[in-house]
Amino acid sequence: IFFKKKSLFLIIILFIFIESTNLLASDKSKIIDNLNKTQDIKFDFIQISFDKKESGFCFLKRPHFLKCIYNDENQKELIINRKNLVIHHKKYNKTYFFSISKSYFVEILDKEKFKNLIFEKNISLNEKTFEIKYFTEKGEIIFFFEKNTYNLLGWKIVDINGNSTSFKISNIKRNQNLERGIFSIPEIN
C-alpha cells in the first residue's frame, strides 16, 4: 500500500510538472505573437543602476533603433541607430560613441534574436510576471513579461562584475509609426 501511494504521488507530481511545462510553452508562443504584432513602441521607463534612479521615455523601432530621453539635468539621451550606440548630453553638447556589439541591446533590438532567445530559454512564472533568464559572456539578463497581456515589462542586467541595472517599462504605446529621424545621431561640433 505504501508503494502504491508513493507511486500515485509521483504520477500526480509528474502530471502537474508536464501540464505546467505545456502552459509555459504556450505562454512563450503568446509572448512571441505579441512581439510579432509590434513594429515600434513608445514607453516610459525607470532605470536603477549603481543605486541611482533615473527616468524618462523611449522610442523603439525594430530591428535597429532606440532612443531614450532621460529626465535629468544633463538632458541625457541614449540613441541606437543601427550599429552605433551613442550617449549624448545636450546640456554640454557632449557625445560618446560605443559599439552596440558590446552591449545587451543586440539581444533586445533584433526581433529574430529576441524571439529565439525567448523560445530557447527557460520561462518561469511569478505572481504577476513571466521571467526569462539569458546568460552571455557579458553576464545575465532577466526579461520580465506581464502575465495577462504578455507585454515586455523590462529587464534586469547583472554584468560579470556583479553590477546590476534594472529597467522597468510602463505606459506602452504600440505601433505609433515612428519616423527614423527620431533616431538621428547629433552632429559633433
Amino acid at 96: Y
Residue with the bigger pLDDT between 21 and 168: it is: 168
Residue 181's pLDDT is: 83
Q: How much is the pTM?
A: 0.78
Query: Which of 18-22, 30-34, 151-155 is least confident?
Result: 18-22
Yes or no: say if 147 and 24 are a contact pair by the CB < 8 Å rule: no
- pLDDT given for residue 53 in this prediction: 94
Percentage of the chain modeled with pLDDT above 90: 20
What is the average pLDDT across 39-61?
A: 92
Amino acid identity at 79: I
Question: By three-state DSSP, how is residue 143 classified?
Answer: strand
Q: What are the start-end ranges of the H helices in 77-148?
A: 105-109, 111-120
Q: Is residue 69 within 8 Å of residue 58, measured between CB atoms?
A: yes
Assign 1 a pLDDT band (cuts: 50, 70, 90).
low
Which pLDDT does position 51 carry in this prediction?
86
**Mean pLDDT lowest among 29-38, 41-50, 106-115, 128-137:** 106-115
| Residue 104: strand, helix, or coil | coil
Given strand 52-61, what is the order of strands in its sheet? 94-99, 84-89, 76-81, 65-70, 52-61, 40-49, 164-174, 152-159, 139-146, 129-136, 123-125
The rounded radius of gyration (Å) of the Cα atoms in the chain is 20
pLDDT tens-digit series, residues 53-110: 999 999 988 778 899 999 988 889 999 887 788 899 888 888 888 888 777 677 677 7
CB 123 within 8 A of CB 130: yes
